[in-house]
Amino acid sequence: MLRSAFVPLVLSTLLLAGPAARGGTLATTPVLLKTGDGIMCIITNTGTKDARAVSVEVLEWDDNGLPVPVTTTTPADLAPLGLVQASDLATDLTPVFGACRFTFKGSAKGLRASANVLENTTDLLDTQPAH
């Protein structure tokens, strides 16, 4: 019984990480979203020299337990001290899990990213850093 629950968890974790083994990806842990909750994915370039090409994905888990992108930004140049964000509003009648995936060129040095859960799109409930 434990094995059957463990396999989807491992598979979802690997799919969420995407090409993390090759570098260029940060992801947050899944967060529970209730109807009306919003998730905002934000990545910031804390560096002061070069712009970085980044894209942001908001993921929600489907009925098969797999993360599926529901919102994706086109690759954008993230200026020094700038940010790029993507967001989504949970409209399902049952709670769903959501997370953020950030893809970029080069190393993660100088990049900070997080998932922010908002209740009624205004009240901050939770923040999860990306790793």
Burial class (CB in 10 A: 0-12, 13-18, 19+), 24: middle
Q: By C-alpha distance, which of 21, 6, 24, 15 is closest to 99?
A: 15
Structural domain range at position 44 = 2-129
Number of separate domains in the chain: 1
C-alpha span between 97 and 55 (Å, rounded): 21
pLDDT digits (tens, 9 = 90+) for 44-95: 999 888 888 999 999 999 888 889 999 988 888 999 999 999 999 888 777 8
Q: What is the CATH number of the domain that holds 45?
A: 2.60.120
Least confident of 9-23, 78-92, 104-118: 9-23
Q: What pTM was computed for the model?
A: 0.78
pLDDT band at 8 (very low <50, low <70, confident <90, very high): very low
pLDDT band at 102 (very low <50, low <70, confident <90, very high): very high
39 pLDDT more than 80 = yes
Please tell me the predicted confidence (pLDDT) of residue 115.
96
